[in-house]
Structure 1
């Protein structure tokens, strides 16, 4: 049975530079989602969002913009903007778990407001022909919040629902609730995509066996931690390629070049690349030591030396 792999966004990491590099050197991802657009009450698209969504900057096969809002006016404004760029779908982020977001009634903090979600979807459907997809959690405080929302969603034209089976208060801790996810699948006619804790081929196999009727699977942090993961899942291979260090090195150098051209000053590029290594280090035999070597770098030359050291250790 065929399936598709989707790469969900990680704010601050998965911009167009990262997406292009992953797609060029690894592949396996069918669809990428851009980090959410957040207007913060002002009807204006920031230049950073414009750059990230510009078709001229994106080489991936399919990119879907995402919006973070609780306002129909904002949703419609972003929908119109992305349509002018040629996009036909807008994903609504109802999943972000961070308190700075949820306390403002955004992300997973909005899930219990079924009437507000109902009104927004109705107005957007009445005033726009854009395809709507949702990315959501089971709730913020209660995993049954989603079960109260699903009957409301049945009234609306929704392309698909990406469900991360945790509540917002969990952040990324604790176990995913696969029993509630199963109930969600049983209680909606909309296409459902699974998202959450796909960090290995083994985990994917187990989930695919339990939910054989799911055709779309979303990977978030797993793509940043292991850019090989999507292709490994597609080829059903549990192991990194034998020459993975060379492939990773080429990817890393391209990514460094992209950000070196975009950021001002050596300090900014070193800090940016160090933030990626908090994830990349999981590829190596001793992640803690690998990351520690990178974190010690204070200049571009010492950073490159740290990268060479880690790759040399991996080859031995």
Structure 2
């Protein structure tokens, strides 16, 4: 059985600059999900979302837009926008675990409201011809919540349901709940994608063995922590390329240059790259030491020096 690998959308990380550089230097990802569009009650698509989805910024990739909303009118507004750009599929985020989202009844905070989910899906399928796919958690408070939603989802011709095998309250703490994911496999007619803690080839193989019927796997944080992971999974190897650190260095320099040009001033680029290095550092033998070097770098020159020191130690 051939497998498909997907990049989970990570707000603040997996925009078009990252996606294009990742695809060029590492490969292995078949489909990228763009970070969610959120309207905040105003029927306006922010410039950053517009730029991220512009076809000219995504010429070599398969990209699927995503929306975060609990309002049918907002959903339909985003459908019209993405269709105007030529996209035919919209992914609906019912997975985000962060309190500022879930307290407003969005992301994983919406899973406990099957009636509202039904209302939005009904309007989307009656009033548009968009293909809808879902990104979900098992629930927010408990892993039974998703089981109450499946009878609703089964009424609609969804492309797939990608499930991160945690509840929202966990954020990213604690382990994934594989028993709960198995219950999902047994309780829906829809095609399921597995997401959660695929951080190594060994972890992927464990999940593939545990869920033999699953052939789509979504990688999120693990993709940033180890950018070689998807291609290694695809090539069925645990061996890194001989020029591992040269390739990583070129990738790093590419995204650094692009973000530096896009962001104004030293503080935004510092915070942007610190965010990446919180994950990048996990590929090094002493993650804390590597990340500490990055955090101590207070200007662009010091940052570049810190990066060189980290890579030269390899």
* Alpha-carbon shift at residue 61 of structure 1 (Å): 2.1
Report deviation, 1:46. Answer: 0.6
Shift of 1:59: 3.6
Structure-1 separation of matches of 2:265 and 2:65: 30
Instruction: Say yes or no: does 1:116 pair with 2:116.
Output: yes
Where does residue 264 of structure 1 map in the other structure?
264
Partner residue in 2 for 1:9: 9
Q: Work out the CA distance in 1 between the residues paired with 2:287 and 2:237.
A: 22
Q: CA deviation at 1:264?
A: 1.5
Q: Which residue is equivalent to 1:191? A: 191
Partners of 1:60 and 1:227 in 2: CA distance? 18
Aligned match of 1:32: 32
What does residue 84 of structure 2 align with? 84
Following the alignment from structure 2 to structure 1, what is the Cα–Cα distance between the partners of residues 219 and 143?
A: 21
Matches of 1:59 and 1:262 in 2, distance apart? 19
Distance 2:267 2:139 in 1: 40
Paired residue for 1:145?
145
Q: How does 1:222-237 map to 2 (within 5 A)?
A: 222-237=222-237
SS in structure 1 at match of 2:165: strand
State whether residues 19 and 60 of structure 1, in contact with CA within 8 Å, keep that contact through their aligned partners in structure 2: no
Q: Give the Cα separation in 2 of the matches to 1:243 and 1:313.
A: 15
Shift of 1:85: 0.4
Mapped contact 2:141–2:167 kept (Cα < 8 A):
yes
Name the SS for the 2:119 alignment partner.
helix
Q: CA deviation at 1:270?
A: 2.5
The Cα offsets for residues 43-74 of structure 1, whole Å up to 9 and x where unpaired, read as 11011100011111124420000000001100
TM-score by structure 2 length?
0.98
Secondary structure (helix, strand or coil) at the match of 2:175 reads: coil
Report if the CA contact (8 A) 1:72-1:120 is conserved. yes
Give the drift of 1:118. Answer: 0.8
What 5-or-longer segments of structure 2 have no aligned partner?
Answer: none
C-alpha RMSD of matched pairs (Å): 0.9
Match of 1:250 in 2: 250
How far off its partner does 1:29 sit? 0.2
Q: Do 2:176 and 2:196's aligned partners in 1 also have CA atoms closer than 8 Å?
A: yes
Alpha-carbon shift at residue 268 of structure 1 (Å):
2.5
Q: Which moved more, 1:290-299 or 1:260-269?
A: 260-269
- Equivalent positions of 1:165-180 (< 5 A) are 165-180=165-180
Q: 1:269 to 1:228 in 2, by over 3 A?
A: same
| Alpha-carbon separation, structure 1, partners of 2:11 and 2:23 | 18
Cα distance in 2, alignment partners of residues 36 and 267 from structure 1: 24
Q: Is the 8 A contact 2:20 2:61 kept in 1?
A: no
CA distance in 1, matches of 2:63, 2:56: 12
Q: Matched residues in 2 for 1:246 and 1:92: separation?
A: 37
Aligned to 1:292: 292
Provide, for residues 17-57 of structure 1, a one-character-per-residue CA deviation record: whole Å limited to 9, x for no partner: 01111001000000000000000001110111000111111
Aligned residue runs from structure 1 range 63-74, under 5 A: 63-74=63-74
Residue aligning to 1:94: 94
Higher mean C-alpha deviation, range 236-245 or range 178-187: 236-245
Q: What are the superposed Cα offsets for residues 66-93 of structure 1, whole Å, 9 maximum, x if unpaired?
A: 0000011000000010001010100000
Q: How many residues align?
A: 314
- The more displaced of 270-279 and 64-73 is 270-279
Q: CA deviation at 1:231?
A: 0.5
**Partner of 2:43: helix, strand, or coil?**
coil
Equivalent-residue separation in structure 2 for 1:134 and 1:91 (angstroms): 5
Task: State the distance in 1 between where 2:244 and 2:236 align.
Answer: 16
**SS at 1:166 equivalent:** coil
Change (3 A) 1:277 1:59: farther
